Structure 1
Amino acid sequence: MSRTLALVLTPLVALALALPLAAVPASATEGAGGGRDFSVTAHRGGPTKTLGENTMAAFRHSLRAGATALETDVRRTRDDELVVLHDSGLGRTTTCTGPIGAWTRRQLDRQCLERTGRRPIPHVEELLALATSRAERGRPFSLMLELKGSNWSVTQVRRVVNLVKDAGLVDVTAISSLRATVLERVRRLSPRMGNQLIVSGWRKVRQAKGLVGGYNVPARLLSEQRVRRLHRQGAVVLGGYALTRPEWRTLRDVGADGVVTPDVTAYRAWLG
């Protein structure tokens, strides 16, 4: 079956935040925020014991469980094609071994399967096709695509941006990265597309002031004052990889715009 992504002719509608987190300020919903709803974001697609991370099965499961967005990882193959994979190596999550950069996408399709469902490693186009299909049926969700690795050239970033544009998903997609330079390239190529800087320390937040549209921050680093300050700058603030109830409570109390969690079912149950 062909994996070619069809263009979407109808625009996506914005999702309203329906969770007990603080409402996104106007400055965050315009421009950087767009129509994106990252209030309940499934980290690596929200894997379970039987559904592997970053798999189409996990993506669908998380959406059924109530995720408003999917966070996933984008890697390049030897021939610069784009696949959904977290690690730089294949051994942990697939039936193959070695670095992803040693394989072409055609070779991956023919020889490699993800370990849990024994399905091929997803192409980025497949995830985008899922998003466009659901949008056409009135069930849109948002996407956070992390560009893994540091060596993303302008041409390579443009490839990702153009795929999202062609899918009609600019207003519900944010590109994330550990590196502000990658996100600056995203912003130059598509000012409307969201972007999220992944940080593990507050110094990186200060250094990137005014350069990015949002931040993916551990709950332990956030306070009401810090979140308000970032909101005044027009930034979206998400709690990155929040797995526990104390983390969820912190993010709610400080007014974060969303939670990135691997366990959507547990988080939804906690919300009540």
Structure 2
Amino acid sequence: MLILGGTTEARHLAEALAEDLAEGTATPETRRTLVTTSLAGRVTHPTLPPGASRIGGFGGPEGLADWLRSHAVDAVVDATHPFAERMSFNAAAACAATGTPLLALRRPAWTPAPGDDWHHVPTLAAAAAALPALGRRAFLTTGRTGLAAFAHLDATWFLVRSVDAPTAPLPRQTEVLLDRGPFSLEGERALIREHRIDVLVTKASGGSATAPKLTAAREAGIPVLVVDRPPVPQGVPVAESARAAATWVRARTRDA
């Protein structure tokens, strides 16, 4: 069993399957489900899930297909970040080439609440184009990759939050905040207040760990620029929780 990880949901799935493997609790079928979680290696000190782990890329869809064959993988769960588009399509191609069942585990997307002022865009480049009309002091929470899309906006001041330090190119007026979620509502209120934020920029990642910023933005009456998710590869089934994904894995294991 291979989990393409890096998310909270991936870790919860690995934990659920590890419980299956615990002595005295696993069925004969699930006891055979040896779990490996693969991490991209973009975070310096990742939280490792139970079971085996590997860090780094596979070498494209062909390299992943070779890995699936050499490790006799029965099933794959793509539990990467909703914006890890390249890895998701590589997984779909590799699983199609090897006949390996594939499931996408995607947390539900956020939905606006009454009072929200959300502006949807398809890409980071589109977000950069729309940003100057919405505010001059931006709280940028799209992660440390992709900041080059905003580097030309010299008139906008940015508070950039990421787990690891971003690399150039960065916007000229940038303050970097290194932090890892989950984040509290009171903390997000304080950031918006203390830095005089007048626009929030975020990816439509979903999940509870970073959702308080949306509530804080609504309370402050500031607009939110939302980069929409890329689609899941066509034909790949989707589960919205680790529990549902674990049920799918157990069924694949019985069939293996």
Q: Which structure has the greater CA radius of gyration? A: 2
Same fold (TM over 0.5): no
Per the normalisation by structure 2, the TM-score is: 0.29
Per the normalisation by structure 1, the TM-score is: 0.28
